[in-house]
Amino acid sequence: MTLPAIPAAPALRADDSIAAVSVTELFTIGIGPSSSHTVGPMRAAKAFAREMLDTGLIPDRVQAELFGSLSLTGRGHHSDRAVLLGLAGETPETIDPDAIETMLADIRDSGRIMLDGRHPLAFHHEDDLLFRPGFLPAHPNGMVFTAFLPDGSAVVRRFYSIGGGAIRMEGAEPMKTNRRLAHPFASGAELLERTAETGLSIAQLVRANEAAWRDDAETDGFLDRVRDAMVGAIERGCSASGILPGGLKVQRRAQAIKQKLVDRGPRTDPSLVFEWVSLWALAVNEENAAGGRVVTAPTNGAAGVIPAVLRYYEAFVHGATRDGVRTLLLTAAAVGMLYKKRASISAAEMGCQGEVGVACSMAAAGLAAALGGSPTQVENAAEIGMEHNLGLTCDPIGGLVQIPCIERNTMGAIKAINAAYLALHGDGKHIVSLDQVIETMRQTGEDMKSQYKETSLGGLAVNVVEC
């Protein structure tokens, strides 16, 4: 029997002109409900406002226009709110989620916005914040900001939210880096080569690369903050109740589920393991859907997968340590870097395979590493995690990161744990490589119709009647 050919990955090597990616780009602490639709637009609006004032271009008026997926599902994803907050100078990392409603009400009621927190301008929603039909050419998540100057001229900037909260301005020079990584890699094959050459684990290799930005103590401090923020999101999600915003009237379930699990007593029943893991993922994504603070890992729509697997390691693995948690996060980041370099983590480009699928792959690799897996076993775990998410569409009902997104994170977390143990039962040898499954995901995403890629024009989004 002849096996069908696996698609070849495009040539890409670490010594090519590729911007170095840091672990701090894979895990960012921000607010929900969406990294592409909330975090990215807030950063773009902030960048635009800052540029205008820093260069002395003091406008009489500014206008924001949302295109493509940001237009089609932007209201459900709070893109319009994020743009207002960004124009007012707020950032996802520092904004107080509890203060957002007051800030927005002040802008709406006063008809004015404080541009970058420094310069007052008249601002009217119906004229100055517009949802446009169609797509801009460079990416499905497009924004246009216009500053109207006193002399009658205008300054126009196009931004794209390209996934995981990252943004790109059209016409801007690509980010160059003079960082020289100790062990650069641009593919799974190169990653394994580097570990074989150096005798380092994947986590140790990534840690050595992070030294190009900061010392080990600072990297550890960052990883510990990420861990604490992930656990904090779980705890807040498990303590909150009520209806999630947006109109679907989705009831928060985490608090009630947690109480039932606690009432069942010690975690000795095997079924309790996956019930607790599911709860932890559910709690994070309910918190995300409510606009709370979560860790983009690698996106907000998939923010529950890695925290749930991390919490599984801490709660159920005998001998779990803080160093093991750091190993999990560093290894997961290495896998996330490959998806960013070789494909995309944007659901608007890849569907949900690029969000929950990537998070599952990252979490599987991280857990396998924390459990003592070899680099080849870790790479195998990452491959398994994605292989069984290929073709996963993004079709949120009402454009909200609620159905099917919240439950989908629970499935991704359970799959990740399963993938890690399957890989650890093997010797690292397998037929489909991580590079091949990443390339397959990329090709599948390109072939996927746009109505299944975060536009809410197909799938569950049109087959379920909103209440």
**pLDDT digits 0-9 by tens, 337-378:** 999 999 999 999 999 999 999 999 999 999 999 999 999 999
Answer for the pair 127, 150: CB distance below 8 angstroms, yes or no: no
Which CATH number does the domain 35-169 belong to among 3.30.1330.90, 3.40.50.2300, 3.20.20.70, 3.40.50.300?
Answer: 3.30.1330.90
234 and 280 Cβ atoms separated by less than 8 Å: yes
Helix, strand, or coil (residue 228): helix
pLDDT of residue 70: 94
CA 423 vs CA 364, 410, 417: distances in Å: 9, 20, 10
DSSP string, 94-158: T--GGGHHHHHHHHHHHTEEEETTTEEEE--HHHHEEE-SS--SS-SEEEEEEEE-TTS-EEEEE
Residue 103's φ and ψ, nearest 5 degrees, are -60, -45
Tell me the average pLDDT of the chain: 93
Report the alpha-carbon distance of residue 32 to residue 4 in Å, rounded: 42
Averaged pLDDT for residues 140-165: 95
pLDDT, mean of residues 319-329 = 98
Whether 7 has a pLDDT exceeding 90, the answer reads no
Least confident of 2-11, 84-93, 109-118, 319-328: 2-11
Q: How far apart are CA 170 and CA 251, in angstroms?
A: 40
* β 166-169/293-296 pair status: unpaired
Q: Using alpha carbons, select from 73, 121, 5, 25 the residue that is nearest to residue 397.
A: 73
Residue 391 in tokens: 């073709």
DSSP-assigned letter for residue 11: P
> Around 380, how many Cα atoms within 13 Å sit in the side-chain half-sphere?
19
Buried b (16+ CB within 10 A) or exposed e, 13-34: ebeeeeebbbbebbbbbbbbbb
**Predicted pLDDT of residue 16:** 42
Indicate the burial class of 193 (C-beta count within 10 angstroms; 0-12, 13-18, 19 or more): middle
Residue 255: C-alpha distances to residues 134, 276, 306, 313, 428 (Å): 41, 12, 20, 21, 40
- Taking only the tens place, the pLDDT of each residue in 218-233 is 999 999 999 999 999 9
**Amino acid sitting at position 422:** L
At residue 269 the predicted structure's pLDDT band, cuts being 50, 70 and 90, is: confident
Q: Token pair for residue 329?
A: 């996060």
Residue 268 pLDDT grade (very low, low, confident, very high; cuts 50, 70, 90): confident
Secondary structure of residue 169 in the 3-state scheme:
strand
Given phi > 0 = left and psi -120 to 50 = alpha, else beta, which region is 398? left
pTM: 0.90
Q: State whether residue 306 is helix, strand or coil.
A: helix
pLDDT > 70: what percent of the chain? Answer: 94
Cross-strand bridge partners of residue 352: none
Structure tokens at 154: 């205008």
* Domain covering 181-452 in this structure, CATH number: 1.10.4100
Average pLDDT of the segment spanning 403-427: 98
CA distance 54 to 59: 12
Cα–Cα distance between 333 and 294 in angstroms, integer?
17
Apex CA 26: angle with CA 7 and CA 282, to 5°?
Answer: 95
Identity of the amino acid at 52:
M
d(CA 361, CA 381) in angstroms, rounded, equals 7
**Which residues contact residue 402 at a Cβ distance below 8 angstroms, ignoring those fewer than 6 apart?**
244, 246, 248, 250, 289, 396
The β-bridge relationship of strands 28-31 and 129-131 is unpaired
Does the pLDDT value for residue 10 go beyond 80?
no
Measured CA distances, 242 to 25, 200, 255, 256, 285 (Å)? 33, 48, 10, 11, 14
Residue written as token pair 């790479």: 379
User: Is residue 246 a contact partner of residue 400, using CB atoms and an 8 Å limit?
Assistant: yes
* Residue 295 in tokens: 């860790």
Interval 59-85 mean pLDDT: 94
Task: Mention every residue, 6+ apart, whose C-beta is less than 8 A from residue 42.
Answer: 82, 83, 85, 86, 90, 91, 92, 95
Segment holding 213, helix H or strand E: none
Q: Supply the pLDDT for residue 5.
A: 52
- 287 — phi, psi (to 5°)? -65, -40
> Can you give the residue ranges of every domain in the chain?
35-169, 181-452
